[in-house]
Structures are given as structure tokens and as C-alpha cells.
Amino acid sequence: MSNHNELRERLARIDGKGYGAYKSIAGTYEFPHFTLFIDNVQSDPFAPPSKIRVRVAQRLAGFPRELFRNRSRRVALEDYLTRQLAGAIRQAGVSPRGTGTSGLVSIDAGGQEILERTSMVVNKDYVEARLKVGLPARGRTVLGRQAITMFNELLPQLVSQTLFYKRLEQGKVKEHVKLAEDQDYLRNLLPGRKLAAFVANGSILPRESGVSDRPLKSKNVVAFRSPPELEVSFDLPNRGRVSGMGVPEGITVIVGGGYHGKSTLLRAIERGVYNHIPGDGRELVITVADAVKIRAEDGRRIEKVDISGFITDLPFGQDTIAFSSENASGSTSQAANIVEALETGTHLLLLDEDTSATNLMIRDGRMQQLVAKENEPITPFIDRVRELYEKFRVSTILVVGSSGDYFDVADRVIMMQNYIPRDVTARAKEITATLGENRQVEIKNKFKKVTARIPLKDSFRLPARGKVKARGLNHIVFGRTTIDLQYVEQLVDASQTNAIAEILKYIGKHYCNNKNRMADIIEMVLEDIDKEGLDVISPFRGQHPGDLALPRKYEIAAAINRFHQLVVRQEGT
């Protein structure tokens, strides 16, 4: 193993040489208080940045075992340290200077959610940060002196500020860790209390803007307050007793005038499947872990999904038991989204009327009279929602602004008024009783158990020289095919998309054998990750998979289902 002085000497020797000379610095270097691993050296100043790791022995880092004694705490501590290191980089004024990525130093720090990441590792032996650096160059000439400053001055400064417990604000470290533990604890309690979600009193739900997920800060922001009828309390291990609105299992309809907060509440609930950082405003908006947001998605691909519970008897005899489409309509795409979520194991569907296919959601009494049922292939969601709950224990939280017919099937009706929720269930039922039902239930057949599908191995075969790569949050390129994830609304971080891209390769290599069901394949991958860490899916395992974040199985399934190469057979066929 070399030391930091040898790295300095090597960089001095290659100063002014061609960029390829940087390849000589790959390796491991011992610094006074940490070890530097230069795992990957970029081939060109315009190529993706080089990958390095810095590792501090725990005997020097000094983080108490109490701070990472369980998964909740460990993930939160790693998240906190990553954010601190990213902040120190910003404070140091580090930015690309020179050709391409020259001078760049970065770490994958994420947004408002606390996600398990590969950018930081904390265990009983060491703390390790995984960074990207742009090796300094002018044109394609090595700037060795600037590289010495980067590695021998800037890097030790960043490590000293962020990876030693005694140098951090210890109260904030503990707050971050304990909050995440409380969030996971509360989420695990919800099913036992027969609740689908919980929104704490005092939560701040509105966001800064349509492109910012940070909390809105304004004198007009209204803090959340539960209606008395729905208020529940929990005793958390760190924060103690908290109170707020418990959304019961079953069918909950959220109503209210435009701009009164009903969609804002639903968006907070859909993000409640993740833990959030202190100060987010939604720290104690907690949703059961298997909730899935459903919407219409014109144009998406569908591969052999049984949507016959919602759509049958299409013109020209088109099959809906094994429905496929390269360009699905709003209603068929939404029906497929529901069935695919059920296939993956959800017990809570989240829907907003604004992003749903109207003809899948409802047919009112007047339309029923004009268009006879025998001429309508759709069984609307309103006629299935109770069956889904009573037969399969799948709850629904639904925002509606115009369809009062949903009062007939709702267990609970919550009205948002000036961002304050009110329980108006009794009034909604009274209106239903007074006006009577003006539509007929339209069910041709019982909703049957979802048919499992088995992906065929050739689906994941790459063409010669083909690559799999994520492009931002919303797209994955698999060979010559692009997977579009822009309408998968609970995918929140581009590093989750990076991980899904790696998982697609991992599935093809390890578990897709023309026998395993799709849901089982995804569970197998997540079990491997749980046992061996998120590094297991990376081609850089043991080195630097520093830009991956753990996705949920529902978003993994969403990517597979939108994959144009996917070929499946239904189980039993």
C-alpha cells in the first residue's frame, strides 16, 4: 500500500503529460487519518468522473454503536453523513474548473427522503464515503499540481469536517437517527391499528413549488390538524406520544373545493412510504409500506395482464384475460396499473380523480340510461372498490372533486377546507340517503385472484455491445429500448432509477429462468440486497457503486412492466 506522499510524487511526475497518465494513480493510499481508494480513473476529461472511496477506521471516527445498532438508525446515520459531506463540498466552493469535469468533487446526497444508499457505509469497523472526482486537466493535459491540491489538501479537509463524530453537531446527528427510527416504528404499527396512513398534527404538507419538494415557507401556510373523529395517538420510542389523523383501512374518499388541499394531502400520503429528513414538514406523515399510486398512462406498453375484472367484451374479440398493447388507452393503462400493483402485493391503492381515466372510474345514471351496459365493456372502479377491500383486503384512498357517487361505497369521507380536514362521512351518507342512488351497479363477473406472470429469460437479453443505463429519474436505456418511468409517481430519486437499471441486469443473470414468477423474482433480488447490501447488484461490487439508492419492489415492477422487450407467459398456460 502506498502513502499520501507517494500519491503527491506520482501526480507531480505526470504534471503536463497526456491525460492517460492519470491511469497510473489507481490504487490504495494511506493518509494520516484515513485510507484513500482510487477505484476507477476516467479515460478522458469529458468521460464520467473518476470514482474514489475514503475510509476512516471506526476507532478514529468514533461513532457510538448506539447510532447504528439497527437498520433504521444505520441508514439514517449514513444519510446524515452523506448530507454533511455534500454540504462541506458546497461550502468549500468546489466546482468544475478546466476541461470537462475537471475539479469536480461530488457525493450522491439525495433530496427530502431518507433512502438506503451506496454513497456511505457505516459499520463497526469503519466509515466509508464514496465520491466522484473530475481529475484536473487543461484540454487533455494533466494538471498535476491542481490534482495534488484536490487529493492532499481538499480531501483531508472534507474528511476531517464530516467523518469524525467529535467534529459534528452531535445533537443533530442523534435527532436525524432517532427520527428515522420513530418513522419506521410508526409505519410498522399501522396495520395492527387497522390504519392505512397517519398524518401528525402540525405537519406542513404544501411544497415550495411544482419543481421543489421542500416545504413551503409562508405566513399563510396552514399546519395540519386532525378532525376529532379521526384523531389517534402513538407512543414512539424516541419522540414519545404523537397525535394526528389516522386514515382507516377500507375506502376513504377525500373531497373539497379546488385549491383547498385535497391533492396536497394525497401527495403527502403517497410519499409517506418513505422516511423524511428533519424539517421536511412531513416527518410524521406515515403510510403503510406497500401503498401504490395509480393513474392513467396513455401510450404505455402492457404485456399479458388480466384486466378482465375491469374491461371485457372489447370489439373484434380482443382478449382482456391476457391483454397486451403497445399503445394503451387511459382506461386500459389504469386497469393494468391496478392489476400489476395487486400482482406485486399492494394492500393500499392511492388515486386522484384528476389523473385517472374518467370512464374507468365512473358511469353515472344518465350515461347508463343512454348507453346500455351490453354496449359498455368497462366495469368502473366504483363497482369494484368495495369488492377489492372485502375480498382481498385492498384499501383505497381516493381524491374526488366531482363524483359524489363514491359516497355510496365510502367508509369514510374527509373534506379539505382551507387545508383543514373535516370528517363529513355522516353528511355524505345523509345526502346519499336523501337523493337516492341514480346509477346501477355494473358488475358482469366477480373479480378473481390476479394471475401471476412469468417473465421469459430472453426478455433481459442485451444486444451485442448493448448497455443498461439510467438517464435521470424517469428513463432507463436497455440496449436499444428506453423504459419511460415519468408516470411512476413514487419513484423519487435518480439513484433509485440507477439501482433499477442494475436490478434489471441482475434479474436476467440470476433469477429469470422461465419458471419464476415476476413478483417472486423481485422478492429474491430484495432478499439478496437485505442480506448482502445494495452493493450486491452493482458491477463495481467491492469497489465503488456510489450512486445507487434502494427502490421499492413496486417501482422495480413498474419498470419491468413498461419494458418493451418484456415477454411473459401467464402461470398455468
Q: How do residues 213-262 score in pLDDT, each as one tens digit?
A: 999 998 889 999 999 999 999 999 999 999 999 999 999 999 999 989 99
| Cα torsion through 178, 182, 185, 186, rounded to 10 | -170
Query: Per mean pLDDT, which range of 52-61, 135-144, 429-438 is the poorest?
Result: 429-438
Q: What is the DSSP letter of 311?
A: B
Average pLDDT score over the chain: 95
CB 120 within 8 A of CB 110: no
CB 423 within 8 A of CB 229: yes
Which whole number is the average pLDDT over 355-371? Answer: 90
- The residue among 145, 175, 2, 10 whose CA lies nearest residue 77 is 175
- For residue 318, what pLDDT is reported? 83
Query: Per mean pLDDT, which range of 3-12, 116-125, 540-549 is the poorest?
Result: 540-549
Instruction: Say yes or no to pLDDT of 9 above 80.
Output: yes
**Cell 493510499 belongs to which residue?**
29
Q: How do residues 404-423 score in pLDDT, each as one tens digit?
A: 999 999 999 999 999 999 99
Query: Per mean pLDDT, which range of 271-275, 292-296, 372-376, 391-395 is the poorest?
Result: 372-376
To which H or E segment does residue 525 belong? helix 518-532
- For residue 444, what pLDDT is reported? 75
Q: Is the dihedral of CA 374, 378, 379, 382 positive or negative?
A: negative
Which whole number is the average pLDDT over 43-69? Answer: 96
What separation in angstroms does the CA of 523 have from each of 461, 509, 529, 549, 560?
Answer: 21, 15, 10, 17, 14
pTM of the model: 0.95
Question: Would you list the DSSP string of 212-228?
Answer: EEEEP--TTPPPP---G
Q: What is the DSSP letter of 277?
A: -
- The residue among 418, 93, 60 whose CA lies nearest residue 256 is 418
CB 131 within 8 A of CB 546: yes
The pLDDT > 70 percentage for the chain reads: 99
d(CA 450, CA 443): 17
Q: How do residues 155-199 score in pLDDT, each as one tens digit?
A: 999 999 999 999 999 999 999 999 999 999 999 999 999 999 999
- The residue among 182, 197, 169 whose CA lies nearest residue 72 is 182
| Residue-range domain boundaries for the chain | 2-168, 291-435, 453-570
CB 197 within 8 A of CB 288: yes
- For residue 435, what pLDDT is reported? 76
Confidence of residue 542 (pLDDT cuts 50, 70, 90): low
Which whole number is the average pLDDT over 193-213? Answer: 95
Q: Which residue type sits at 15?
A: D
Which whole number is the average pLDDT over 552-573? Answer: 96
